[in-house]
Amino acid sequence: MDRKLFVQALVKFFLGVVLVGILIFLPAGTMNFFNGQLLMALLFIPMFMAGIILMIVNPDLLRKRLDARESEDEQKTVVAMSGLIFISAFVLAGLNYRFGWFIMPRWTVYAGAAVFLISYVLYAEVLRENTYLSRTIEVQQDQKVIDTGMYGIVRHPMYAVTILLFLSIPVILGSPISFLIMLLYIPVIAKRIRNEEEVLKDGLQGYDEYMSKVRYRVIPFIW
């Protein structure tokens, strides 16, 4: 086992737990916020398990997923905008609970949790299908076009899954205000996709043909 990678992954994991916990529970004014507790469990327990599995079976992919340093200015802007959206959504969800502005019924919370878990499974399948995935936009050495599985349906199944994941988060938190904020993620990710496809067309052999073969980017027959 790569000890340095293990420590890096563990530090980032616990920093994520602390940061998200602060953003949710501090505005809520209490740790006794069921929706927040549920989200933390759904978000970080599978993440921890997935990290352990990747550490054992594919440490290179884990290393790429931990590297979030974008080289392109446009993508740095996208990352900053995404971060602002998430911070706003979490903080507003906590405030929504504290002041009881618009509380969603419990059944919608559980429905959101179901969508989140299904999306997590699909996320794992995308990672299994495409071992070239990283958190930055780049063309890697010896990279090939993946056109099987979910990549045979849409060109960016990872983004399709993350949209489901991220839109289910404010539902789990029971905050319609946060849901409206999170909708802003869609135009942000559309900007990222446009830039990513330009990079892939220029640097990845066969990507033009793949785009002709698989017409839709994220949603079949729509987008």
Domain boundaries, the chain: 3-213
pLDDT in tens, 34-86: 999 999 999 999 989 888 888 888 787 777 777 666 556 666 787 889 899 99
pLDDT in tens, 170-203: 999 999 999 999 999 999 999 888 888 888 888 7
Read out DSSP for 172-222? HTT-HHHHHHHTTHHHHHHHHHHHHHHHHHHHSTTHHHHHHHS--SSSTTT
For the domain covering 3-213, report its CATH number. Answer: 1.20.120.1630
φ/ψ of 104, rounded to 5, equals -80, 150
**pTM summary value:** 0.89
Answer whether 130's CB lies under 8 Å from 204's CB. Answer: no
Answer whether 214's CB lies under 8 Å from 187's CB. Answer: no
Rounded to whole angstroms, the Cα distance separating 36 from 23 reads: 10
Rounded to whole angstroms, the Cα distance separating 153 from 221 reads: 10
Residue 145: per-residue pLDDT: 83
Q: Which residue has the tokens 């469990």?
A: 41
